[in-house]
Amino acid sequence: MAFQWGLGRWLGSGVFGTTLPPFNRAAFIRDEPGITLFNAHVSGHVDPASTARQNIVDAAAGLPAKTSDNSHVGTTNVTLDANMLRAILEINLVNGYTFRVTTIAGGRHSATSAHYTGKAFDIDTINNVRVTTANPLNQAFKNACTAYGATYVRGPGDDADHATHIHCAWP
């Protein structure tokens, strides 16, 4: 059972004075088969250093994530928010959803986007179904983001900018 195995990996990692390394959420996200990390930009812009996959790979290595060179802030280094990383992992392991993360710090968004501070992620599939107004899992996924502390959650039906993806952002 992958679900139990996943939680088993999670428990006891580096706490209570053990000699185990500290828990690294980004490494678990990187390696979790139920979380796909997009290795390109949905806009088609080419900036391999700022894809969702590279953001997580960098964070897992203890490095900052990068924003995109065509973003409002240019290429900058950001630390990915621990609560957001926790939500990405737990929405998969605890809530049981598989999904594809298309954007974290990279991409081009509104000028004040939480993506640029490492506090937002976007997804475009849930359980192998595209995020559209017809996807019955949209609201449950949005509710899960809110339950894990997201304060700004948008998706299909909320506005035209989020017709094809769900955006979850932390304060």
Domain ranges in the chain are 2-169
Q: What is the reported pTM?
A: 0.87
- What mean pLDDT value characterizes the chain? 90
The string of pLDDT tens digits covering residues 133-146 is 999 999 999 999 99
The string of pLDDT tens digits covering residues 49-90 is 999 999 999 999 999 999 999 999 999 999 999 999 999 999
**Residue 59 backbone zone (phi > 0: left; psi -120 to 50: alpha; other: beta):** alpha
* Number of other residues whose CB lies within 10 A of the CB of residue 152: 15
Rg (CA), the chain: 15
Q: Which tokens go with 3?
A: 């679900």
